[in-house]
Every structure is written in C-alpha cells, then in structure tokens.
Amino acid sequence: MGIVLILGLIMGSGKAQGYNAYRSTDAVLLQLKGDSQTESRLEEAFIRLSGSTNVLEVRVKIPYHMINYTPADGTLSSSSDLTFDLTIRVNSWQIQDDQGSGRTYFTHGLLKLNDISKPAMVEYTTLPAGDDQAGSFNLSMIIKFNPHNFNLDGPNDKERFIIRINDATVNRL
C-alpha cells in the first residue's frame, strides 16, 4: 500500500525559531536553463519530522542572487535570503519499515516561497542511520519547482530549479 499523502499547512511563525536548535546539512540548488545547468551550494538545510503529526518539514535559505531576483521593495543586502519552506505528509511507520530498502517515494509537498504557497514535486529516499531500533533515519531528496509560480521572475522564463539534499539528518520531534 502506498503512502497516503495530504498536503500540510505551513508551520506557524512561532515554530520557526525552533529551527535554530536543529543540525543542518548541506544542500545544492540546481538552476536549469535549456541545455545548461548551474549548481550552487546552499549553506543550510533543516529537516525535521514531527511524529505526532507525521509532517516532514524542510527549510532552506536561498540567497537572492542565486536566483537572479530582486525583492519588490528594491532593498537587497548581502545577507538577504529567501526562506524555502516545504511540508509533506508522510507515514513515519512506513518510512521506518522501508528504510534501507532503497525505496524512493514520489509525491507533492506544499512549498512556501516568497510568501506564496504552491505544490512542488518531491522525490525522497530513506537511508538507515544509527540504531534501527531507535527509528533514526536520514533522507536524500530532490525538490523541483518553477520560480515563476512564486513570482520570482528572472531574466529567462524557461528556468527551473531543483534543490538536492543528500544523506541529511532528520531531526525527530
């Protein structure tokens, strides 16, 4: 039986500060334009799974310059970032049972970017981590999105982006 996936609501602003307590992992932003591809390293990706709600949350900071975007108010500092928030409903028991099997899940998550929420394509694979009895696991993910769905118009309207996260630690709540 497949995983029952329901789009979740984005976490409240009060929870956002809790991400500071979690370990981060590296991520890569791939920008696809026609036949060319540009790869940029992202410094932080936070992934957490709430066992009580079975919601997998991914938060990544994307520097504006990586997507050739200038905010509407025209202010742009070198420390400016877009917050990329993705939520996916998962069956944590099935993930635990399937880890190490190499099974890849294909689904949609709810992505909030530039204050706009839209579905995004997600592919993820669970990887064993630590003691199987503790239920720990890592994830590798590929998240596909179109910047124009989030009013991030760059110089080329044919651009597509992929965020790739490899062997990331999942912070369980």
In a domain, 12, yes or no: no
**In contact, 127 and 100? CB cutoff 8 Å:** yes
In a domain, 11, yes or no: no
Hey, what are 53's tokens?
């709600």
The Cα angle at residue 166 between residues 79 and 161, in degrees rounded to 5: 55
Domain region containing 113: 22-172
- Give the model confidence (pLDDT) of 122-150 as tens digits: 999 888 776 555 566 788 999 998 888 88
In a domain, 1, yes or no: no
Domains of the chain: total: 1
CATH for 80: 2.40.128.110
What single string gives the DSSP state of each residue in 72-83?
A: TT----TT-EEE
The Cα 98–Cα 128 span in angstroms is: 9
- Which residues, in sequence order, are bridge partners of residue 129? none
Cβ neighbours of 128 (radius 10 Å): 13
**pTM, rounded to two decimals:** 0.74
In a domain, 152, yes or no: yes
- Give the model confidence (pLDDT) of 69-100 as tens digits: 666 655 555 457 888 999 999 887 777 777 66
